[in-house]
Structure 1
Amino acid sequence: MSKPDSQLEQSAMSYQSSEALTGNSYQELLALHSLVNAVGDAIICVDRDGILVLWNPGAERLFGFSSEEAIGASLDLIIPPESRTAHWEGFYAAMQQNQSRLGSSVIRVPMLRKNQSQFPGALTVGIVRGEDNRIERIGAVIREEPEKKFVAE
């Protein structure tokens, strides 16, 4: 079992033992984990501080970072330096306003690989809310789209 799988198992078991998850919820969590790992596209998720908390095998292939390298790192890991100011302004505005202006639209932005090469990325953003309805996580499904134009910064 890989390290991320082991971490998920441990998390799920601790939830299960605390009775936060029913047996069905535990099985659903494992099924969801399998799906996220099987998808060819990159799937990532960050917390309220922009720290990566999910990095699937598709993200490993697309960006070149292992999950061990990415989990716990800032999202700056995959954002080109010249795009970071605009990115963080939008990110923190979403957190402060408790909503994203992106909705479910596909946006195209420059992305950064481990080898420092840039590529045009197409991504869809999803919001994960906590019990208090505040944004707790922001997830994205990302793929490379060669020869596409980037969104205006």
Structure 2
Amino acid sequence: MNETEIARALLATESDAIVASDREGLITFWNPGAERIFGYTAAEALGQSLDLIIPERQRARHWEGYRKVMETGESRYGRGDLLSVPSMRRDGSRLSIEFTIVSLKDEAGAMQGMAAVMRDVTARFEEMRALRRRLAGQAAVPG
């Protein structure tokens, strides 16, 4: 199997969302995993703003960081750091995602956009939150 075949298989995965956006934050790539996780088809997502999956409360912070990365070409998260953030599905329901980002640069090194590989970790996040509540409740009970 050559690199092109491997890349094609990875980009077509349904397990993880792979989303790319241009300098303005408009979606340029939306794989089957993104369709499964977020509920939008590629035809619906392509050309739309990343606001499609960013909850309104997180948008200002997201765009501040995004613009800074587009201007500087640097991100403190660009070395494989795993980020955890809230997101939202087409139906408006909330989900928790973990993701890594990759800067997309041209041959001269100028920023062209970003790509992210995202995983839905909502079930794990909810389990951890419930466990923390149980532990906090036990600590409050006199023993």
Superposition TM-score, scaled by structure 1 size: 0.75
Which of 141, 144, 150 is the matching residue for 2:117? Answer: 141
Letter aligned with residue 128 of structure 1: L
Letter aligned with residue 90 of structure 2: K
> Structure 1 segments of 4 or more deviating over 3 A?
27-31
1: CA distance between counterparts of 2:3 and 2:91? 36
SS in 1 for 2:12: helix
Question: Which deviates more, 132-141 or 61-70?
Answer: 132-141
Are 1:75 and 2:75 matched, yes or no? Answer: no
SS in 2 for 1:114: coil
Unaligned stretches of 5+ residues in structure 1: 1-26
Q: CA RMSD in A?
A: 1.7
Preserved CA contact (<8 Å) 2:102 2:115:
yes
Sequence identity (%): 37
Are 1:52 and 2:27 matched, yes or no? Answer: yes
Superposition TM-score, scaled by structure 2 size: 0.80
1:9 alignment counterpart: none
| C-alpha distance after superposition, 1:48-98 (max 9, x if no partner) | 110000000000000000000001000000000010000000000111111
Bigger Cα Rg: 2
2:11 alignment counterpart: 36
2: CA distance between counterparts of 1:145 and 1:123? 10
